[in-house]
Amino acid sequence: MTLVITEQERIKFVDRYTKAGREGKLIKCPHCGDSWRAYHFSWTAVLCRHCVDGNETWVDKNQWIIAE
């Protein structure tokens, strides 16, 4: 998946102020585009199991894209 950034739709990244809330927050891997729902953000990096044909990739918190 190719991520296209335009002036109109700025990509929002997770930062230290991001809150999951009661329903969690959908976040998207910047490498493979796969998204999952995070229910808390008390981590600094998360393993993406969908990246590159099953090769596990650590993705730093502030690299995750807020998908909703």
Question: Which C-beta is closer to Zn ion: that of 18 or that of 50?
Answer: 50
- Taking CB under 5 A as the rule, does residue 46 contact Zn ion? no
Pairwise CA distance, residues 42 & 20, whole Å: 10
Could you tell me which of 53, 17, 52, 59 has the C-alpha nearest to residue 36? 59
Q: Which is nearer to Zn ion, 4 or 17 (CB)?
A: 4
Is residue 38 a contact point for Zn ion (CB under 5 A)?
no
- Determine, following the binding rule CB under 5 A, whether residue 65 of this chain makes contact with Zn ion: no
**Per CB under 5 A, does 63 bind Zn ion?**
no
Give the separation between CA 28 and CA 13, rounded to whole angstroms: 9
